[in-house]
Amino acid sequence: MGRASSSKSSAETTSSGVDPALFHSLVNQYYEDLFRFALSLAKSQSDASDLTQETFLVFASKGNQLRDPAKAKSWLFTTLYHEFLRRRRKDQRLVFTEESEPFDGDGGERTPSQDVDSRMVVDALATLDESHRAPLTLFYLQGYAYREIAEILELPIGTVMSRLSRAKAALRKALANPKLGEQMAAQREQQSGGAVVPMPKPRKRSGGGH
């Protein structure tokens, strides 16, 4: 998934002031998580790989501006999200064409995806606005808490909570549409050049959502 290419950029880190050892450590720690997030947002595995590699390239050139190493993770996710938005403005054909597995609940309230076919969940997600899909993806697929999502998306925690609430309601409504599968299947047939790749498996949250 391009990890070698990302690691290769570490050769440039000395001139930019980023510790090569730190760079390698971050690649090893967060590449998979960043790729998983990118894949949930982008339309193909190739785009997700490009987003992830670009994120590390940005860190290689600007990471020396990060004063607190403990914030490296949220910095990387925020940078990836910004890069995604920048590219999205150039290409408004963002779609979900990936296969998915059901979201994994955290032992609490059941989510709609636990009771429906995984394809329906992917189709339903594709109908959501990006402002709703991003926090929903981070919450369910990445397992981040509200505060972490707020840091990544650079939003007040109250905004994240309200968007998640609306996103869940929108997801339930989309899943209740009996013609959703047919509509999305027709849309996929009209798409060209979109690679069909598996979506990332969800991660269990270590703690509560708050």
The domain that holds 41 is classified in CATH as 1.10.1740
pLDDT at 61 over 70: yes
Q: Which of 66, 90, 114 is the last residue of a domain?
A: 90
Closest-CA residue to 91 (of 103, 102, 83, 79): 83
Question: Which residue, chain included where needed, has tokens 């999205």?
Answer: 88
CATH of the domain at 159: 1.10.10.10
Q: Which of 90, 122, 137 is the last residue of a domain?
A: 90
Give yes or no: residues 84 and 100 share one domain: no
Task: Please tell me the predicted confidence (pLDDT) of residue 144.
Answer: 85
Closest-CA residue to 163 (of 140, 138, 141, 131): 131
Give yes or no: residues 99 and 86 share one domain: no
Give yes or no: residues 59 and 99 share one domain: no
Given a contact cutoff of 8 angstroms between Cβ atoms, the answer to whether 165 and 159 are in contact is: no
Give yes or no: residues 62 and 144 share one domain: no
The angle subtended at Cα 126 by Cα 202 and Cα 86, nearest 5°, is: 90
Number of domains in the chain: 2
pLDDT tens string 70-115: 888 888 999 999 898 888 776 654 344 333 333 343 433 434 444 4
CA-CA-CA-CA torsion sign (126, 129, 131, 135): negative
- The HSE-up count of residue 26 (CA atoms within 13 Å, CB side) is 29
The Cα 197–Cα 3 span in angstroms is 18
Give yes or no: residues 102 and 192 share one domain: yes
pLDDT tens string 154-180: 999 999 999 999 988 988 888 888 777
Q: Which of 67, 90, 113 is the last residue of a domain?
A: 90
Task: Please tell me the predicted confidence (pLDDT) of residue 51.
Answer: 93
Average pLDDT across the chain, whole number: 72
Task: Please tell me the predicted confidence (pLDDT) of residue 108.
Answer: 38
* Range(s) of the domain holding residue 76: 3-90
This model's pTM is above 0.75: no
Given a contact cutoff of 8 angstroms between Cβ atoms, the answer to whether 126 and 184 are in contact is: yes
pLDDT at 201 over 70: no
Give yes or no: residues 86 and 144 share one domain: no
Give yes or no: residues 58 and 116 share one domain: no
